[in-house]
Structure 1
Amino acid sequence: MANVKNEMIINQLVAKVNACISVPYSCSTNMLKKLLLLLCLISGSTYIVLYWLGTAGYRSPRKAVLHKISEYGTTSYHFSQKISSYKVSDNHQNIPKFNASILFVETTDTWIPSLSATCAVESAARIYHDKQVWFFMKGLTQKKQQEQISQSPRLFLLSQIKNVFISPLNVTELLLNTPLLPWYQKVNPSKEKYWTYVTSDAFRFALIWKYGGIYLDTDVISVNPVLEKNFLVGVPPQRISSAAFGFHRHYHFLWDCMKHFVSNYHGSIWGYQGPSLLTRMLKQKCQIPAFQALQDDKCQNISLLHPTRFYPITYPGWKIFYQPFENFPNFNNSYGVHLWNYMNKENRTVVTGSNTLIENIYKKYCPDTYKNIVLNSLPKLKRKDSKLIQ
């Protein structure tokens, strides 16, 4: 009777491990190890669990196998799915592919990405499936990044995408040989009112200067690929955005922007080092168009994209994202959808079953984030104007 009971428990544990491996980011590496260890303890000496871990920051995509040894021979339980590998990038060895990468950066000390950042990175990986998508995070550490990734379902999900690379942000290395490093080493962050935003502006300029490609804010959901190589995005009235732009590596305009960043530094004014800076610098070259018709423009060899390309919903209407939609817009005229997180002071988020625009955006453009994070990780919700109440 005891043997039958043990067999039942073992079968239940095998099923749990199967479920864990089938959706890898649904449980941590430590949880998986504990389940396998529990199998060993319960089964005693009649079972051997084989579980491989790779080296150099990769978990080998090999199957976990449970071998039952008895007088009748050996029986093997092969778990239903392969244990997926996760990628972690050593910033000293691996760098984005020049002029062919989509770059995101998290400048706070967190190593757990926001829900919108997770969706933004996944959507970019899907839309730009032939390019590398890099997510640099200041809160990731070189020594603990494997553990950090395995403990965060959102990071773990992103690490499973073949063209996504997650890397610690080495600020000194990034700013080296740019006008920004002396400024960064001299400034006192404790006296800065908008330090997170200012450093975010600095880092994005340096990233595109060093590697080339496309920079996107972590609240920009990609919906169509940008084909232009050197581009800026307009916002009304006759201004330039810093939430999305792209340039070839070592493009002279970015070097001039970094020099201006330091020589005309006013960190106490919100946006002065980012969108306002790009606006000032572009005005030195040509007049910024009013963008009345849905048509892109040109400033020398820099493409100026119509605001609709990344702002189909302008910032005064940001609450539209959290309202139910009968007919989902196709965004055919846009490359990205900016969610205006800065405007969302009420911390509204995705409510499952609400049929809001934001829920439908997640379902269509970052379905893995929606299925594996939104549906599985959100607490029970009370609905009030589609706002998350906890």
Structure 2
Amino acid sequence: MKYFHLTIALSALSLLYFLLPNNEELYKVESINKLFDKSSSFSRENKIVHLSEFTEKYSKDNQIFLLETSGKSFLSGRECCAVESAARNSGLYVQFLLLSSVLNLKLSNCTYQIFHNYPNVSFWTFTLPTVFAGLPVDGLEEKINMSHRHGPTFLSDIVRMALIYKFGGFYADTDTVFLRSVRGLRNFMASEVGSEIVRDVCLPPNGTQKIGKVNNGHFQFSKGHPYVHRLLKRMNKEFNPNSYFRIQLGPALTTRAVRNMFRMKIPLTNMNGSVLSILPDYIFSPANWVMAKATYWRKKARPAHQWEELFNCTYAVHFYRDMTRKARVTGNRLREAYSYLGFKHCPLSLYPFEQF
């Protein structure tokens, strides 16, 4: 992929101002220019960063983990957006872990920009023996190595829980845009799909939203939390590497573990507690996952105030990669949630659109 010189990039961003619907002000233009100015340009050098392995000595008190488990050595535009928005808005230190042992800055413009411009982001590699050491997962590494069809998905589902149990912190999927600080959210999981409730307050009283499943895409737990320990044991017991069921370690399993540990009856409801909170779905998923594409890519224009109403109680927007991966981002902020949010929360990641 080609990198663009700084002057070309800024000219293109200026041109977008006139091309975007309603001629709205380009969000964060000054911030974009300042961040670009801190870099020499879009480098054409063959830059390979050899990554250190993440261990206890690199762990921090207030941290968020994001994972890349396919083996590729760079970030896509949408992955960059998750990292950049977390660095800008989450209030946490961003730990991005890759299965790859190198980070290739020449293959992705946004990877290069984030690496050079955000001091509160670190990139690491990881290995299963190190991550699994001391955890109740005997034999799980062998099972993962046996899985083929959905190996990266299984690996991600397991490693995210292992990291949080071992080091503590926040985890988020890489198809997320952070809108505000999540630093105050502790020991929680969120609803995958819940019943509609009136949002008089963004964190409503216990028992006011019925919950279908507990999502494993966004959560936070303290180091050594008993629920995560139980979930890891359950994963080790139930994981079938020969299964074609891609989400066997996902929301259904996390929900069973919650019910078992806390002796909860169906249907589950939202709850706020010191040991575990189950947050309403709209905290991270203001759109039902089935309707994600239709909600976030509109056929008719949605003015800014309507986007703001949709995201009013949302800390970070989950875009459900599997449902929206083929939807194009063009910069149309009236019809595309990624464009509306991207100019405000991940400006370096959004451009060029063909890489997003």
- Is 1:176 matched with 2:137? no
Q: Residues 31 and 205 from structure 1, CA distance in 2 versus in 1: closer, same or farther, beyond 3 angstroms?
A: closer
Deviations 1:106-159 (A, max 9, x none): 110111212211101111111134x310110112x2xx44xx235532221221
- Paired position in structure 2 for 1:280: 256
Report the 3-state secondary structure (helix = DSSP H, G, I; strand = E; otherwise coil) of the residue aligned with 1:329.
helix
- Paired position in structure 1 for 2:223: 249
Larger Rg: 1
> Alignment partner for residue 247 of structure 2, among 263, 271, 274?
271
Q: Residues 288 and 24 from structure 1, CA distance in 2 versus in 1: closer, same or farther, beyond 3 angstroms?
A: farther
- Paired position in structure 2 for 1:100: 62
Report the 3-state secondary structure (helix = DSSP H, G, I; strand = E; otherwise coil) of the residue aligned with 2:341.
helix
- Paired position in structure 2 for 1:349: 328
For 2:179 and 2:265, the matched residues in 1 are separated by 26
For 1:96 and 1:349, the matched residues in 2 are separated by 37
Contact 1:208 1:214 in 2 (8 A): yes
> Alignment partner for residue 119 of structure 1, among 58, 63, 81?
81
Report the 3-state secondary structure (helix = DSSP H, G, I; strand = E; otherwise coil) of the residue aligned with 2:307.
coil
Q: CA RMSD in A?
A: 3.1
Larger RCO (alpha carbons 8 Å, 6+ apart): 2
For 1:332 and 1:234, the matched residues in 2 are separated by 17
Q: Residues 119 and 283 from structure 1, CA distance in 2 versus in 1: closer, same or farther, beyond 3 angstroms?
A: same
Report the 3-state secondary structure (helix = DSSP H, G, I; strand = E; otherwise coil) of the residue aligned with 1:209.
helix
- Paired position in structure 1 for 2:352: 374
- Paired position in structure 1 for 2:113: 157
Report the 3-state secondary structure (helix = DSSP H, G, I; strand = E; otherwise coil) of the residue aligned with 1:250.
coil
Q: Residues 170 and 110 from structure 1, CA distance in 2 versus in 1: closer, same or farther, beyond 3 angstroms?
A: same
Q: Residues 228 and 353 from structure 1, CA distance in 2 versus in 1: closer, same or farther, beyond 3 angstroms?
A: closer
Contact 2:74 2:107 in 1 (8 A): no
Q: Tell me how many residue pairs correspond in the alignment.
A: 296
For 1:162 and 1:318, the matched residues in 2 are separated by 32
Listed as ranges, the matches of 1:184-263 within 5 Å are 184-189=141-146, 191-226=147-182, 227-236=184-193, 237-263=211-237
For 1:121 and 1:25, the matched residues in 2 are separated by 21
Structure 2 portions without partners, runs of 5+:
12-35, 194-210
- Paired position in structure 1 for 2:280: 306
- Paired position in structure 1 for 2:318: 338
For 1:288 and 1:127, the matched residues in 2 are separated by 36
Q: Residues 281 and 101 from structure 1, CA distance in 2 versus in 1: closer, same or farther, beyond 3 angstroms?
A: same
Contact 1:291 1:306 in 2 (8 A): no
Q: CA deviation at 1:350?
A: 1.0
List structure 1 segments (4+ residues) > 4 angstroms apart after TM superposition. 92-96, 288-292
Contact 1:231 1:302 in 2 (8 A): yes
Contact 2:143 2:240 in 1 (8 A): no
Q: Residues 92 and 247 from structure 1, CA distance in 2 versus in 1: closer, same or farther, beyond 3 angstroms?
A: closer
Q: Residues 158 and 317 from structure 1, CA distance in 2 versus in 1: closer, same or farther, beyond 3 angstroms?
A: same
Contact 2:46 2:106 in 1 (8 A): no
2:121 aligned partner, one-letter code: V
> Alignment partner for residue 302 of structure 2, among 311, 325, 329?
325
1:255 aligned partner, one-letter code: H
- Paired position in structure 1 for 2:39: 24
Contact 1:205 1:254 in 2 (8 A): yes
Q: CA deviation at 1:298?
A: 3.3
Q: CA deviation at 1:22?
A: 3.7
Q: CA deviation at 1:177?
A: 1.6
Report the 3-state secondary structure (helix = DSSP H, G, I; strand = E; otherwise coil) of the residue aligned with 1:198.
helix
For 1:149 and 1:242, the matched residues in 2 are separated by 30
For 2:62 and 2:191, the matched residues in 1 are separated by 23
Contact 1:89 1:166 in 2 (8 A): yes
Q: CA deviation at 1:325?
A: 2.0
Report the 3-state secondary structure (helix = DSSP H, G, I; strand = E; otherwise coil) of the residue aligned with 1:24.
coil
The TM-score normalised by the length of structure 1 is: 0.68
Report the 3-state secondary structure (helix = DSSP H, G, I; strand = E; otherwise coil) of the residue aligned with 1:105.
strand
Q: CA deviation at 1:359?
A: 0.9
For 1:22 and 1:218, the matched residues in 2 are separated by 27
Report the 3-state secondary structure (helix = DSSP H, G, I; strand = E; otherwise coil) of the residue aligned with 2:139.
helix
Contact 1:25 1:153 in 2 (8 A): no
For 1:362 and 1:108, the matched residues in 2 are separated by 24
Report the 3-state secondary structure (helix = DSSP H, G, I; strand = E; otherwise coil) of the residue aligned with 2:272.
strand
For 2:222 and 2:233, the matched residues in 1 are separated by 18
For 2:54 and 2:221, the matched residues in 1 are separated by 23
Structure 1 portions without partners, runs of 5+:
1-12, 33-56, 58-86, 380-387
Q: CA deviation at 1:99?
A: 4.0
Report the 3-state secondary structure (helix = DSSP H, G, I; strand = E; otherwise coil) of the residue aligned with 2:219.
strand
- Paired position in structure 1 for 2:26: none
Q: CA deviation at 1:192?
A: 3.9
Q: CA deviation at 1:94?
A: 7.3
Q: CA deviation at 1:93?
A: 6.6
Deviations 1:206-255 (A, max 9, x none): 11011111000001111122212100101225210000010001111111
Listed as ranges, the matches of 1:137-148 within 5 Å are 137-139=98-100, 141=101, 144-145=102-103, 148=104
Q: CA deviation at 1:181?
A: 5.3
